[in-house]
């Protein structure tokens, strides 16, 4: 699997965050589906992801 780019993850979060597209990008399909049905936990999940996304991308890239 290819390494994921933090900039792309942030672009997906900013424009499609409530649909969880950034979660799908990082391979977290279950969380992506949860974001779709709850609209990003009504925005709270997206707000949290603004701060935790670098760690999520790093964890994904190290897990390869």
The mean pLDDT value of the chain amounts to 96
Residue 64 reports pLDDT greater than 80: no
Domain ranges of the chain: 6-43+50-62
Alpha-carbon distance 57 to 21, whole Å?
Answer: 14
Q: Residues 8-33: what's their mean pLDDT?
A: 97
Q: At what angle do helices 44-62 and 29-42 cross, to 10 degrees?
A: 160
**pLDDT digit string (tens) for 37-62?**
999 999 999 999 999 999 999 999 99
User: Residue 54 half-sphere exposure, CB side, CA atoms within 13 Å?
Assistant: 1
Whole-model pTM: value is 0.93
């Amino acid at each position: 699997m290819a390494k994921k780019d933090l900039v792309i993850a942030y672009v997906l979060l900013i424009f499609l965050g409530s649909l969880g597209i950034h979660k799908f990008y990082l391979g977290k399909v279950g969380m992506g589906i949860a974001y779709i049905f709850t609209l990003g936990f009504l925005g709270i999940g997206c707000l949290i992801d603004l701060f935790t996304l670098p760690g999520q991308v790093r964890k994904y890239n190290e897990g390869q």
